Structure 1
Amino acid sequence: MDTDLSGRVALVTGSASGVGRGFALACADHGADVAVHYRSSDAEAAATAADVRDRGVDAATVQGDVTDPGSVDALFDSVEAELGAVDVLVNNVGAFAPQHWADIDFETWQTVLHTNVNGTYLCSKRALPAMREQGWGRIVNVGYAGSEQALVHPKNTPYFIAKTGVLMFTRMLAADTQDDGVTVNAVSPYVVDTSDAFPDAAPRGRWATVDDLAAALLFFLSDDAEYVSGENIEVDGGFLPEKL
């Protein structure tokens, strides 16, 4: 797989820790300069940026709220000033609420929808003009396994609704950018081993690792995937939604 990101700038939202950090380091390992985005975890973001630089590429930390249009503009302005225009956008930020829907307060419901759907929309919209102008760009959105089947469950309901929306947006944007040199795809895990809570049983006897997800991400960023857009790779070990 030919994933050479030398000379490219990657912005990974929510990359101070967890899966986002893994994505940021994977991009750096393949030559990209990386913008490490955070909302409040400034120390963790600085540590991730230092690890990016240790790989021989440049890094910047950028703070912002991906649900706020003005904040998104400001964080992209910061990336462009420090590293250049964004070539690779990974929309990783996404809150979840593992409770029965009737027990979720409205503020939490709104937060889950805003971070997953509106954050993906706002960052993609801001990144696209530069990608279109240069005739090359990669957007990868983080979904959730089961969204292909419109997963229904009384727990974590706003998250499932939001991730189904992310998948719909991914495919719409892929169609809308098919003549622009831009691809838009999704990577959808079930449960990752960085999670704070786990179901009773793991597919194939283990949870997904960040490396499992990064492999799918790097495929979408590779030259081998130049003609692949609007696709969704479920990194789930064979998870079936009806087993929830």
Structure 2
Amino acid sequence: MIDPDLDGQTVLVTGSARGVGRELLLAMADRGAKTAVHYNTSDDAAATVAGRAEERGASDTTVVQGDVTVPADVDDIFDAVEAELGAVDVLVNNVGAFAPVHWTEMDYETWQGVFDTNVNATYLCSRRALPAMHEQSYGRIVNVGYASSEKGLINPKNAPYFMAKAGVLMFTRMLAADTADDGITVNAISPYVVENSAEFPDELPRGRPAGFEDMSQAMFFFLDEDSGYISGENIEVDGGGCPRKCSSSVS
């Protein structure tokens, strides 16, 4: 098991009041990180997560609210984290809307929302985190993608999601190249079906969805102090089966 020492590091996970974001944040709390729980509308859930983070070993914690698709909100989020916990050492861009609707039946606001929450939020939060990371010559950015989205997945029911996640991975590699001499790494973890997914396909690789621990282990690989040379990479947390099946079986 990869078990990085995150004691005293400030971590911000977007959308960490629920689901995968919550579990990634709690896994880092287990390792002594200072945790910033971000939410937009789930205030009660965020407060609960902050309490759990403290119980599980976070060296400090705070709760921050804002819409990560709005530049002014992103500035406010980071200002609040920096005031309470210090500069962000680890940023996990987890927010990303999913719209399982055929593209011809999807209204424009939904289409745009998928791109805003997946691509634009990742851009805005990364841009805001970088100045402090440059100043301290250290930083870890982990973006949440989707398995095989770089391979041209075709599913009319999720077209903007696949397109947006391909964009997230392209941005990951561009940003990694642009920070190659600054002590910063930028990588991605890309699941297929996770244990909290609303629907499961008829067949799953290895007979089960990805667990939260599977996601955490992939993230920890990139956060480990011995992984400082690894940047611009993507770990697909899909059990090895998504390239063959997910383009047709996920709806």
Q: CA deviation at 1:112?
A: 0.4
**Stretch moving more, 148-157 or 60-69:** 148-157
For residues 164-184 of structure 1, give each alpha carbon's deviation from its aligned partner in whole angstroms, at most 9, with x where no partner exists: 000000000000000000000
Equivalent residue, structure 1, for 2:199: 197
Equivalent residue, structure 2, for 1:140: 142
Does the CA-based 8 Å contact 1:2-1:223 persist in structure 2? Answer: no
Equivalent residue, structure 1, for 2:72: 70
Identity of aligned residues (%): 66
Distance in 2, Cα, partners of 1:200 & 1:97 = 20
The amino acid that maps onto 1:19 is V
Equivalent residue, structure 1, for 2:17: 16
Does the CA-based 8 Å contact 1:2-1:224 persist in structure 2? Answer: no
Q: Structure 2 matches for 1:108-187, cutoff 5 A?
A: 108-187=110-189
For residues 22-48 of structure 1, give each alpha carbon's deviation from its aligned partner in whole angstroms, at most 9, with x where no partner exists: 110111111210000000000110010
Q: CA deviation at 1:55?
A: 2.3
Aligned length: 244
* Structure 2: stretches of 5+ with no match in the other structure: none
SS, match of residue 194 in structure 1:
coil
The amino acid that maps onto 2:13 is V
Does the CA-based 8 Å contact 1:146-1:240 persist in structure 2? Answer: yes
Deviant stretches of 4+, over 6 Å: none
Distance in 2, Cα, partners of 1:219 & 1:238 = 18
Distance in 1, Cα, partners of 2:125 & 2:35 = 16
* C-alpha distance 209-186 of structure 1, shift in aligned 2 (>3 A): same
Q: CA deviation at 1:201?
A: 1.4
Q: CA deviation at 1:212?
A: 0.6
SS, match of residue 34 in structure 1:
strand
Q: CA deviation at 1:68?
A: 0.2
For residues 35-69 of structure 1, give each alpha carbon's deviation from its aligned partner in whole angstroms, at most 9, with x where no partner exists: 00000000110010001111232110100100000
**Stretch moving more, 216-225 or 111-120:** 216-225
Question: With structure 2 as the length reference, what TM-score do the two structures score?
Answer: 0.95
Equivalent residue, structure 1, for 2:208: 206
Distance in 2, Cα, partners of 1:75 & 1:105 = 29
SS, match of residue 155 in structure 1:
helix
Equivalent residue, structure 1, for 2:82: 80
Equivalent residue, structure 2, for 1:219: 221
Q: CA deviation at 1:224?
A: 2.0
Does the CA-based 8 Å contact 1:191-1:207 persist in structure 2? Answer: yes
Q: CA deviation at 1:240?
A: 3.2
Equivalent residue, structure 2, for 1:228: 230
* Structure 1: stretches of 5+ with no match in the other structure: none
Distance in 2, Cα, partners of 1:103 & 1:202 = 28
Q: CA deviation at 1:195?
A: 1.1
Question: With structure 1 as the length reference, what TM-score do the two structures score?
Answer: 0.98
Q: CA deviation at 1:242?
A: 4.5
